[in-house]
Amino acid sequence: MKDRFKEFEWEDKEGMFEVALDKALDGKFKDEHFPLLRVKNLCKYFPIYSKGFLKKQIGTIKAVDDISFDLMPGETLGLVGESGCGKTTAGRTILRALDPTSGEVHFDTFTKLVDLCKIPEKKLKPLRTKMQMIFQDPYASLNPRMTVRQIVAEPLVIHNLAKGQELEDRVVEMLRKVGLKPEHRTRYPHAFSGGQRQRIGIARALIMHPSLVVCDEAVSALDVSVQAQVINLLQDLQEDLGLTYIFIAHNLGVVKHICDDIAVMYAGRIVELAKTDDLFNDPRHPYTKMLLSAVPNPDPDVPMNPALSGEVPDISNLPPGCSFHSRCSICKEGCKDEKQELFKVGDGHYVSCNLVDGKK
């Protein structure tokens, strides 16, 4: 496979990452100018089996297909695209909640670098305290038969990290941090509003002080006014606890104010990756432009174009060539034959489209 990692020219001065990897194999390593996370050529495929007694593999869903990016400590990467493009699968595979099909996920634990794709299952448990996920549906992800105190304390109990008064103190402190009243900790989730339940979910995810947090559509189910409050809370907590986020959303508007970089996904692949300002001011990929046209404009005089035109292709049976060609208004003949790779168009800005200026 072509080594896209080198082609990308990630500010990898003199192969710093490779050297650090070698060092990390035999010693301690910590560098704040080094990515907390480096995802390289990551793939997650799901086999499709025939029905009946003799189950034969009849196809493959390429839910995540060769994605690469860097994430610096304390920063936020947005992962954006329509439903079914592979965002959740990417998030779960990065955290090794799903086993990858291939690729690398280098994670800096601040004592050593590990490749989460290669590490054996039994060595994953201590690392799980450093990586957490916040889910879309705060009700479905909270056990209705547990009190808030039990829900928030559970990760510490499972990992045997605190008990007795210390456990109680940490729960109280965490509830305060997320803006909930500690005296409500004996209540059950149903007694709280949607926004408050999401705060309970956030408290549970952060109680072990992880360094990497994947927020999977964490505000998508909430009312717009509550969305803003929860996003503000996540930003405050990021500052307070030194968190690094992958922020998954299907709407570019939601990620604008929280993300340093944004990766736009389409049919399992990243089609554009850029600093947030560059993506909004100078979008290059026709799909990014389509997503941007669907972001509501605060100016009431600007007409809204909320509908995304065309159908998302069947991810288990993608056409050859550019997977966006069936919806692309500027599609040319060659687009249907040639698979698109990301190439660099500016500082930290990568696009996979035949017709974008600057293609080598």
Ligand X SMILES: Nc1ncnc2c1ncn2[C@@H]1O[C@H](COP(=O)(O)OP(=O)(O)O)[C@@H](O)[C@H]1O
Applying CB under 6 A, which residues contact ligand SF4? 286, 322, 324-325, 328, 330-332, 335, 340, 353-355
Among 152, 263, 315, 328, which residue interacts with ligand X (rule: CB under 6 A)? 315
Q: Which two structure tokens, joined as six digits, stand for 296?
A: 């509501």
Helix (H, G, I), strand (E, B) or coil at 79: strand
Is 68 an interacting residue with respect to Mg ion (CB under 5 A)? Answer: no
- Choose the stretch contacting ligand X; rule: CB under 6 A; options: 33-41, 84-92, 289-297, 337-345: 84-92
Provide the minimum distance between the beta carbon of 246 and ligand SF4 in the complex, in angstroms, as a whole number: 25
What SS3 string covers 162-217? CCHHHHHHHHHHHHHHCCCCHHHCCCCHHHCCHHHHHHHHHHHHHCCCCCEEEEEC
Phi, psi of 127 (to 5 degrees): -70, -25
Provide the minimum distance between the beta carbon of 312 and ligand SF4 in the complex, in angstroms, as a whole number: 14
- Choose the stretch contacting Mg ion; rule: CB under 5 A; options: 88-96, 102-110, 199-207, 299-307: 88-96
Provide the minimum distance between the beta carbon of 354 and ligand SF4 in the complex, in angstroms, as a whole number: 4
Residues 38-77 that bind ligand X (CB under 6 A): 46, 61, 63
Among ligand SF4, Mg ion, ligand X, none, residue 103 binds (CB under 5-8 Å by kind): none
- Choose the stretch contacting ligand X; rule: CB under 6 A; options: 81-89, 122-130, 158-166, 301-309: 81-89
Residue 353's closest CA among 150, 329, 3?
329
Question: Measured between alpha carbons, how far is 150 from 155 in angstroms, rounded to an integer?
Answer: 9
Among 3, 13, 33, 83, which residue interacts with ligand X (rule: CB under 6 A)? 83
Question: Measured between alpha carbons, how far is 360 from 354 in angstroms, rounded to an integer?
Answer: 10
Exposed (0-12), middle (13-18) or buried (19+): which is 274, by Cβ within 10 Å?
A: buried
Parallel, antiparallel or unpaired: strands 37-49 and 102-108: antiparallel
Among 68, 76, 88, 211, which residue interacts with Mg ion (rule: CB under 5 A)? 88
Q: How many CA atoms lie within 13 A of 224 on its CB side?
A: 4
Q: Is the CB of 62 or the CB of 106 nearer to ligand X?
A: 62
Question: Measured between alpha carbons, how far is 323 from 318 in angstroms, rounded to an integer?
Answer: 6
- Choose the stretch contacting Mg ion; rule: CB under 5 A; options: 85-93, 97-105, 112-120, 332-340: 85-93
Which residues of the chain form contacts with Mg ion (CB under 5 A)?
88
